Amino acid sequence: MAQEVVKTMLAKGYVLSKDALAKAKDFDESHQVSATATAKVSELSQRIGLTDKISAGIGAVKSVDQRYNVSETTIAAASTAGRSVAAAANSVVNSSYFSKGALWVSGALTRAAQVASDLGTRRDRQ
């Protein structure tokens, strides 16, 4: 546990001397902080059956997944949807209507830019 605290401090940019690390390790060993914490977590887990409940939950999820093929169905649906979206986008881009519309918008913007340029030139002359 103390080692995790030191690792976190180092990761956040704190500078610790070798002496500080040795003192922290000695403190942990003399007061058995890590060992006590590990024992308490293990005792709590055994008392409430946490490990068994987690294992049972994982087993239930795996059973439902295997019975109904949830993972495979989800992957297949995502793949099919992705292919459909790509095909639709490709159809739109390759459509003559899209091309004509893009050309029309481009022409309209060119004409608008020309009008703006002409207005600016007229103001400069006056």
pLDDT per position as a tens digit, 23-50? 777 887 888 878 888 888 888 778 888 7
Token digits for 45? Answer: 């887990």
CA–CA distance, 19 with 3 (Å, rounded to integer):
14
Q: Is the pTM of this model over 0.85?
A: no
**Residue 17 pLDDT more than 80?**
no
Question: What is the residue whose two structure tokens read 């294992």?
Answer: 55
| C-beta separation of 2 from 26 below 8 A | no
